[in-house]
Structure 1
Amino acid sequence: MARALGLLILASSLLLTSCGFHLRGNLPLSHFPAMYIQSDRHSELAQLVSAKLQHNKVQLLDSMQQTAPMLQLVSDSLERRTLSLFPNGQVAEYELIYKVRYALTMPDAEPQFYQFELFRDYQDDPNQALAKAKELDLMLGELREQAANRILRQLSRLH
Protein backbone atom coordinates (compact mmCIF):
# COMPACT_ATOMS: atom_id res chain seq x y z
CA MET A 1 0.00 0.00 0.00
CA ALA A 2 2.78 2.43 0.95
CA ARG A 3 4.68 1.51 -2.21
CA ALA A 4 1.62 2.21 -4.39
CA LEU A 5 1.16 5.59 -2.70
CA GLY A 6 4.83 6.40 -3.29
CA LEU A 7 4.53 5.47 -6.97
CA LEU A 8 1.42 7.62 -7.28
CA ILE A 9 3.19 10.62 -5.77
CA LEU A 10 6.23 10.07 -8.02
CA ALA A 11 4.04 9.80 -11.12
CA SER A 12 2.15 12.97 -10.17
CA SER A 13 5.32 14.97 -9.64
CA LEU A 14 6.76 13.75 -12.96
CA LEU A 15 3.59 14.79 -14.76
CA LEU A 16 3.65 18.25 -13.18
CA THR A 17 7.30 18.89 -14.01
CA SER A 18 7.01 17.55 -17.55
CA CYS A 19 4.08 19.83 -18.39
CA GLY A 20 6.05 22.95 -17.42
CA PHE A 21 4.25 23.62 -14.13
CA HIS A 22 6.12 25.99 -11.78
CA LEU A 23 5.09 27.38 -8.43
CA ARG A 24 3.83 30.93 -8.61
CA GLY A 25 6.74 33.38 -8.58
CA ASN A 26 9.29 30.75 -9.63
CA LEU A 27 9.92 31.12 -13.34
CA PRO A 28 12.49 29.37 -15.52
CA LEU A 29 14.95 32.22 -16.06
CA SER A 30 18.09 30.07 -16.30
CA HIS A 31 18.86 31.58 -19.72
CA PHE A 32 19.38 34.92 -17.90
CA PRO A 33 22.16 34.23 -15.36
CA ALA A 34 22.88 37.98 -15.10
CA MET A 35 21.08 41.10 -16.26
CA TYR A 36 21.38 44.88 -16.09
CA ILE A 37 18.23 46.91 -15.40
CA GLN A 38 18.06 50.49 -16.62
CA SER A 39 15.27 52.70 -15.28
CA ASP A 40 14.45 55.91 -13.50
CA ARG A 41 16.32 56.18 -10.22
CA HIS A 42 13.30 55.80 -7.92
CA SER A 43 11.06 53.63 -10.09
CA GLU A 44 8.84 51.42 -7.94
CA LEU A 45 8.25 49.11 -10.90
CA ALA A 46 12.01 48.67 -11.34
CA GLN A 47 12.36 47.79 -7.66
CA LEU A 48 9.64 45.14 -7.97
CA VAL A 49 11.14 43.66 -11.15
CA SER A 50 14.61 43.62 -9.55
CA ALA A 51 13.32 41.82 -6.46
CA LYS A 52 11.50 39.24 -8.58
CA LEU A 53 14.57 38.66 -10.75
CA GLN A 54 16.73 38.13 -7.66
CA HIS A 55 14.10 35.75 -6.27
CA ASN A 56 14.48 33.76 -9.49
CA LYS A 57 18.28 33.67 -9.05
CA VAL A 58 19.17 36.25 -11.71
CA GLN A 59 22.26 38.28 -10.76
CA LEU A 60 21.64 42.02 -11.14
CA LEU A 61 24.60 43.91 -12.58
CA ASP A 62 25.67 47.38 -11.43
CA SER A 63 26.63 48.49 -14.93
CA MET A 64 25.86 47.52 -18.48
CA GLN A 65 28.07 44.77 -19.93
CA GLN A 66 28.32 43.68 -23.56
CA THR A 67 27.87 40.01 -22.63
CA ALA A 68 24.73 40.41 -20.51
CA PRO A 69 21.17 41.34 -21.46
CA MET A 70 19.78 44.74 -20.51
CA LEU A 71 16.19 45.33 -19.45
CA GLN A 72 15.26 48.98 -19.94
CA LEU A 73 12.06 50.13 -18.25
CA VAL A 74 11.22 52.97 -20.61
CA SER A 75 8.06 54.25 -18.93
CA ASP A 76 5.16 53.40 -16.69
CA SER A 77 2.22 55.74 -16.31
CA LEU A 78 -1.27 55.83 -14.87
CA GLU A 79 -4.15 57.40 -16.75
CA ARG A 80 -7.77 57.83 -15.68
CA ARG A 81 -10.79 57.77 -17.92
CA THR A 82 -14.21 58.82 -16.66
CA LEU A 83 -16.78 56.02 -16.74
CA SER A 84 -19.75 57.57 -14.91
CA LEU A 85 -20.87 60.74 -13.12
CA PHE A 86 -22.97 61.50 -10.06
CA PRO A 87 -26.18 63.50 -10.70
CA ASN A 88 -24.35 66.65 -9.50
CA GLY A 89 -21.69 66.23 -12.22
CA GLN A 90 -18.86 64.88 -10.07
CA VAL A 91 -17.02 61.79 -11.25
CA ALA A 92 -18.43 58.60 -9.72
CA GLU A 93 -16.29 55.98 -11.46
CA TYR A 94 -12.95 55.93 -13.29
CA GLU A 95 -11.18 53.38 -15.39
CA LEU A 96 -7.51 53.25 -14.39
CA ILE A 97 -5.14 52.49 -17.26
CA TYR A 98 -1.59 51.54 -16.26
CA LYS A 99 0.73 51.66 -19.29
CA VAL A 100 4.16 50.04 -19.31
CA ARG A 101 6.83 50.27 -22.01
CA TYR A 102 10.10 48.36 -21.78
CA ALA A 103 12.87 47.05 -23.98
CA LEU A 104 15.07 43.98 -23.80
CA THR A 105 18.48 44.12 -25.42
CA MET A 106 20.28 40.82 -25.78
CA PRO A 107 24.07 40.74 -26.33
CA ASP A 108 24.95 41.62 -29.93
CA ALA A 109 21.30 42.22 -30.87
CA GLU A 110 18.94 45.11 -31.44
CA PRO A 111 16.56 46.07 -28.63
CA GLN A 112 13.13 44.44 -28.67
CA PHE A 113 10.42 46.82 -27.49
CA TYR A 114 7.32 45.70 -25.59
CA GLN A 115 4.32 47.50 -24.18
CA PHE A 116 1.10 46.59 -22.46
CA GLU A 117 -1.78 48.14 -20.57
CA LEU A 118 -3.56 46.98 -17.43
CA PHE A 119 -7.07 48.13 -16.57
CA ARG A 120 -9.01 48.54 -13.31
CA ASP A 121 -12.28 50.22 -12.41
CA TYR A 122 -12.19 52.65 -9.50
CA GLN A 123 -15.26 54.15 -7.78
CA ASP A 124 -14.72 57.62 -6.40
CA ASP A 125 -16.57 59.19 -3.48
CA PRO A 126 -15.76 62.85 -2.75
CA ASN A 127 -17.19 62.44 0.79
CA GLN A 128 -14.45 59.93 1.64
CA ALA A 129 -11.49 61.54 -0.11
CA LEU A 130 -8.79 60.28 2.29
CA ALA A 131 -9.97 56.66 2.18
CA LYS A 132 -10.31 56.79 -1.60
CA ALA A 133 -6.79 58.22 -1.96
CA LYS A 134 -5.46 55.30 0.09
CA GLU A 135 -7.49 52.85 -2.02
CA LEU A 136 -6.05 54.40 -5.19
CA ASP A 137 -2.49 53.95 -3.82
CA LEU A 138 -3.24 50.29 -3.05
CA MET A 139 -4.65 49.73 -6.54
CA LEU A 140 -1.60 51.33 -8.12
CA GLY A 141 0.64 49.03 -6.05
CA GLU A 142 -1.38 46.02 -7.24
CA LEU A 143 -1.09 47.19 -10.85
CA ARG A 144 2.70 47.55 -10.47
CA GLU A 145 2.91 44.06 -8.98
CA GLN A 146 0.85 42.67 -11.85
CA ALA A 147 3.05 44.51 -14.37
CA ALA A 148 6.26 43.15 -12.81
CA ASN A 149 4.84 39.61 -12.96
CA ARG A 150 3.91 40.11 -16.60
CA ILE A 151 7.41 41.31 -17.49
CA LEU A 152 8.94 38.25 -15.82
CA ARG A 153 6.53 35.92 -17.58
CA GLN A 154 7.55 37.51 -20.89
CA LEU A 155 11.24 37.05 -20.03
CA SER A 156 10.65 33.41 -19.13
CA ARG A 157 9.15 32.77 -22.58
CA LEU A 158 12.19 34.19 -24.40
CA HIS A 159 15.10 31.97 -25.33
Structure 2
Amino acid sequence: MSRSMPRSRGLWGTLLAAALLALAGCGFQLRGSVEIPAELNPVYLQADAGSPVRRALLDLLSGSGVEVTDNVAEAQMVLRILAEARTSRVAAVDINGKTLAYELHYMVRFDALGDAGTRLVAPQSLDLVRTFDNPDVEVLGKRLEEALIYEDFATDAADRILTRLRVALR
Protein backbone atom coordinates (compact mmCIF):
# COMPACT_ATOMS: atom_id res chain seq x y z
CA MET A 1 0.00 0.00 0.00
CA SER A 2 2.83 2.43 0.76
CA ARG A 3 4.34 1.79 -2.69
CA SER A 4 1.15 2.75 -4.57
CA MET A 5 0.74 6.02 -2.64
CA PRO A 6 3.80 7.77 -4.19
CA ARG A 7 2.77 6.54 -7.66
CA SER A 8 -0.74 7.98 -7.32
CA ARG A 9 0.68 11.32 -6.10
CA GLY A 10 3.03 11.38 -9.06
CA LEU A 11 0.17 10.53 -11.42
CA TRP A 12 -2.01 13.31 -9.97
CA GLY A 13 0.88 15.76 -10.17
CA THR A 14 1.47 14.86 -13.81
CA LEU A 15 -2.24 15.21 -14.63
CA LEU A 16 -2.41 18.57 -12.88
CA ALA A 17 0.67 19.84 -14.72
CA ALA A 18 -0.77 18.65 -18.06
CA ALA A 19 -4.09 20.39 -17.35
CA LEU A 20 -2.34 23.65 -16.44
CA LEU A 21 -0.23 23.52 -19.60
CA ALA A 22 -3.32 22.87 -21.71
CA LEU A 23 -5.12 25.85 -20.15
CA ALA A 24 -2.09 28.10 -20.63
CA GLY A 25 -1.70 26.95 -24.23
CA CYS A 26 -5.29 27.69 -25.22
CA GLY A 27 -5.13 31.30 -24.01
CA PHE A 28 -7.40 30.78 -20.99
CA GLN A 29 -7.35 33.63 -18.49
CA LEU A 30 -9.28 34.20 -15.33
CA ARG A 31 -12.22 36.53 -15.76
CA GLY A 32 -11.33 40.04 -14.81
CA SER A 33 -7.76 39.98 -16.09
CA VAL A 34 -7.11 42.82 -18.51
CA GLU A 35 -4.81 42.65 -21.51
CA ILE A 36 -3.49 46.07 -22.49
CA PRO A 37 -0.55 45.99 -24.90
CA ALA A 38 2.70 47.07 -23.25
CA GLU A 39 3.15 49.92 -25.72
CA LEU A 40 -0.14 51.46 -24.45
CA ASN A 41 0.97 51.56 -20.81
CA PRO A 42 0.53 53.69 -18.76
CA VAL A 43 -3.21 54.41 -19.14
CA TYR A 44 -4.92 57.62 -18.10
CA LEU A 45 -8.62 57.47 -17.10
CA GLN A 46 -10.50 60.64 -17.93
CA ALA A 47 -13.81 60.72 -16.04
CA ASP A 48 -15.52 62.61 -13.26
CA ALA A 49 -13.81 62.03 -9.91
CA GLY A 50 -16.96 60.53 -8.37
CA SER A 51 -17.73 58.29 -11.33
CA PRO A 52 -18.63 54.72 -10.27
CA VAL A 53 -17.38 53.40 -13.63
CA ARG A 54 -14.04 55.14 -13.10
CA ARG A 55 -13.67 53.47 -9.69
CA ALA A 56 -14.54 50.07 -11.17
CA LEU A 57 -12.10 50.59 -14.07
CA LEU A 58 -9.32 51.55 -11.65
CA ASP A 59 -9.97 48.38 -9.62
CA LEU A 60 -9.93 46.15 -12.72
CA LEU A 61 -6.84 47.76 -14.25
CA SER A 62 -4.75 47.87 -11.08
CA GLY A 63 -5.79 44.31 -10.17
CA SER A 64 -4.43 43.17 -13.54
CA GLY A 65 -1.10 44.94 -13.24
CA VAL A 66 -1.90 47.62 -15.83
CA GLU A 67 -0.16 50.91 -15.09
CA VAL A 68 -2.56 53.79 -14.48
CA THR A 69 -1.18 57.32 -14.38
CA ASP A 70 -2.57 60.55 -12.98
CA ASN A 71 -0.58 62.58 -15.51
CA VAL A 72 -2.15 62.72 -18.97
CA ALA A 73 1.19 63.83 -20.50
CA GLU A 74 2.91 60.53 -19.68
CA ALA A 75 -0.03 58.33 -20.76
CA GLN A 76 0.24 56.20 -23.88
CA MET A 77 -3.54 55.73 -23.95
CA VAL A 78 -6.38 57.88 -22.63
CA LEU A 79 -9.58 56.02 -21.83
CA ARG A 80 -12.35 58.61 -21.67
CA ILE A 81 -15.75 58.20 -20.05
CA LEU A 82 -17.69 60.72 -22.12
CA ALA A 83 -21.08 60.34 -20.43
CA GLU A 84 -22.64 58.37 -17.62
CA ALA A 85 -26.34 58.46 -16.71
CA ARG A 86 -28.77 56.64 -14.45
CA THR A 87 -32.47 56.65 -15.25
CA SER A 88 -35.56 54.70 -14.31
CA ARG A 89 -39.05 54.35 -15.67
CA VAL A 90 -42.20 52.68 -14.46
CA ALA A 91 -42.46 49.17 -15.89
CA ALA A 92 -45.66 47.90 -14.21
CA VAL A 93 -48.56 49.29 -12.18
CA ASP A 94 -51.47 47.65 -10.39
CA ILE A 95 -55.15 48.47 -10.96
CA ASN A 96 -54.93 51.34 -8.45
CA GLY A 97 -52.03 52.96 -10.28
CA LYS A 98 -49.43 51.94 -7.68
CA THR A 99 -46.01 51.21 -9.14
CA LEU A 100 -45.11 47.51 -8.95
CA ALA A 101 -41.84 47.53 -10.90
CA TYR A 102 -39.30 49.92 -12.34
CA GLU A 103 -36.91 49.47 -15.23
CA LEU A 104 -33.47 50.78 -14.24
CA HIS A 105 -31.10 51.99 -16.98
CA TYR A 106 -27.40 52.78 -16.78
CA MET A 107 -25.87 54.39 -19.85
CA VAL A 108 -22.14 54.85 -20.38
CA ARG A 109 -20.43 56.39 -23.42
CA PHE A 110 -16.66 56.03 -23.86
CA ASP A 111 -13.76 56.15 -26.30
CA ALA A 112 -9.96 55.73 -26.26
CA LEU A 113 -7.20 57.90 -27.65
CA GLY A 114 -3.52 57.19 -28.28
CA ASP A 115 -0.69 59.34 -26.95
CA ALA A 116 -0.76 61.63 -30.00
CA GLY A 117 -4.52 62.06 -29.84
CA THR A 118 -5.13 59.37 -32.45
CA ARG A 119 -8.44 57.57 -32.00
CA LEU A 120 -7.88 53.97 -30.88
CA VAL A 121 -11.53 53.21 -30.15
CA ALA A 122 -14.43 55.17 -31.65
CA PRO A 123 -17.09 56.47 -29.26
CA GLN A 124 -19.32 53.63 -28.12
CA SER A 125 -22.31 53.38 -25.81
CA LEU A 126 -23.46 50.80 -23.33
CA ASP A 127 -27.04 50.70 -22.03
CA LEU A 128 -27.54 48.28 -19.17
CA VAL A 129 -31.12 47.50 -18.10
CA ARG A 130 -32.63 45.64 -15.16
CA THR A 131 -36.16 45.34 -13.81
CA PHE A 132 -36.57 46.26 -10.17
CA ASP A 133 -39.66 45.08 -8.22
CA ASN A 134 -41.23 47.63 -5.91
CA PRO A 135 -43.44 46.03 -3.26
CA ASP A 136 -45.04 48.27 -0.63
CA VAL A 137 -43.04 46.79 2.25
CA GLU A 138 -39.40 47.39 3.24
CA VAL A 139 -39.00 50.75 1.53
CA LEU A 140 -35.53 51.38 3.01
CA GLY A 141 -34.35 47.92 1.94
CA LYS A 142 -35.56 48.58 -1.61
CA ARG A 143 -33.58 51.83 -1.77
CA LEU A 144 -30.46 49.98 -0.68
CA GLU A 145 -31.17 47.26 -3.25
CA GLU A 146 -31.53 49.89 -5.97
CA ALA A 147 -28.17 51.44 -4.97
CA LEU A 148 -26.54 48.00 -5.11
CA ILE A 149 -27.99 47.39 -8.58
CA TYR A 150 -26.42 50.63 -9.81
CA GLU A 151 -23.08 49.59 -8.28
CA ASP A 152 -23.36 46.29 -10.15
CA PHE A 153 -24.13 48.24 -13.32
CA ALA A 154 -20.90 50.25 -12.90
CA THR A 155 -18.80 47.10 -12.42
CA ASP A 156 -20.47 45.39 -15.37
CA ALA A 157 -20.00 48.49 -17.54
CA ALA A 158 -16.28 48.65 -16.65
CA ASP A 159 -15.86 44.99 -17.53
CA ARG A 160 -17.65 45.47 -20.86
CA ILE A 161 -15.62 48.58 -21.68
CA LEU A 162 -12.36 46.69 -21.14
CA THR A 163 -13.63 43.74 -23.22
CA ARG A 164 -14.50 46.07 -26.11
CA LEU A 165 -11.15 47.81 -25.69
CA ARG A 166 -9.29 44.49 -25.81
CA VAL A 167 -11.12 43.49 -29.02
CA ALA A 168 -10.56 46.88 -30.67
CA LEU A 169 -6.82 46.89 -29.88
CA ARG A 170 -6.16 43.50 -31.48
Normalised TM-score (structure 1): 0.88
Q: How do 1:80-119 and structure 2 match up within 5 A?
A: 80-108=88-116, 109-110=118-119, 112-119=122-129
User: How far apart, in 2, do the equivalents of 1:55 and 1:66 lie?
Assistant: 21
Q: Which moved more, 1:69-78 or 1:104-113?
A: 104-113
**1:72 paired residue number:** 80
Match of residue 50, structure 2, among 38, 42, 45: 42
Counterpart mapping for 1:139-154 below 5 A: 139-154=149-164
Identity %: 26
The residue aligned with 1:128 is: 138
Matched-pair contact (CA < 8 Å) for 2:34–2:61: no
CA deviations 1:114-155 (Å, max 9, x no partner) are 211111110113443222111111111111111111122223
Gaps of 5+ in 2: 1-6
Larger Rg computed on CA atoms: 2
CA displacement 1:46-82 (0-9 Å, x = unmatched): 1111121111112211221276100011111122232
Task: Give the conservation status (yes or no) of the 8 Å contact 1:29–1:56.
Answer: no
Q: What is the root-mean-square deviation in Å for CA atoms of aligned residues?
A: 1.9
Q: Which runs of 5+ in 1 are unaligned?
A: none
Deviation at 1:40, TM superposition (A): 1.1
Tell me the number of residue pairs that the alignment of Structure 1 and Structure 2 aligns: 159
Distance 1:76 1:87 in 2: 35
User: For 1:101, what is the secondary structure of its paired residue?
Assistant: strand
> Post-superposition shift, 1:42?
1.5
